Structure 1
């Protein structure tokens, strides 16, 4: 576990080693429930973000739900402006939308994440978020 004073409601979890190739920086994963709708707490060290990716699914499946619980982060869908995520921010990412999410450069960030069940649910990992683009985003105390 990381040595941090990051205060959050849910466990930090273990280093997210199974998906390390799809993240810039260190993330942590704490599974909260299993079953047909697994729910996890995902935490990101400052500057950590996942690659662009797409969740696929049919018959209502494949939507990703993100519920920010601590810290400060970003969500961005391709072709749209980034959205600042603070505790209480909720994002629904419809299946088929290319997007990324992660911590701001100067803040830890945690969100609860789950995918709606349905037919053909899968995840397609794509290219990393460009450092040049990421580094132009405001930090915790700034606005887009």
Structure 2
């Protein structure tokens, strides 16, 4: 009977320790607001196409067989793209963080890890991180023979802050 009670007590203590450990890990991740990077951070994006710190790395270059380009963009909190269009459209796959996406004339959408966004061909839109948490996304641009991106003006703070 004593062995059963000891085993039961050890089980309860072990579960309590694991529970505390999981809560502490969650708190640490929330406090850091750091993203789990899947790919290298890449090169800092130009101030002509981004507000804030955004980093791009190409993963798949288009060629004569695969006329598609794929890359990763890491947005620090508050960073965002300018308004832009893609002649053949774009697909975004959010791999970590929280951010925003807006098609011109429509409400701002909250996007997060697991979101998949289809940006229609030649439709003005922007995307980027939330004010407090960064965003990491894969971008897929098909049919690059039609062009990759046409960049417009920066998204104003007034527009960006409508998401808050």
Q: Could you say which structure has the higher helix fraction?
A: 2
Matched pairs, number: 128
Q: Are 1:108 and 2:139 an aligned pair?
A: no
Instruction: Give the unaligned 5+ runs of structure 2.
Output: 1-32
2-structure distance, mates of 1:118, 1:128: 24
1-structure distance, mates of 2:144, 2:39: 27
Q: Are 1:77 and 2:108 an aligned pair?
A: no
Q: TM-score, normalised by structure 1?
A: 0.81
Alignment of 1:1-144 (within 5 A): 5-16=34-45, 19-35=46-62, 36-56=67-87, 62-117=88-143, 119-138=145-164
Higher relative contact order (CA 8 A, sep 6+): 1
Q: Could you say which structure has the higher strand fraction?
A: 1
Deviations 1:119-143 (A, max 9, x none): 52242211111111212322xxxxx
| 1:83 Cα deviation from its structure 2 partner | 1.1
Deviations 1:94-131 (A, max 9, x none): 11111000001111101000211155224221111111
Q: TM-score, normalised by structure 2?
A: 0.72
Over aligned residues, Cα RMSD in angstroms? 1.7
The alpha-carbon distance between structure 1 residues 78 and 5, as it changes in their structure 2 partners (threshold 3 A), is closer
After the TM superposition, which segments of 4 or more aligned residues of structure 1 sit over 6 Å from their partners? none
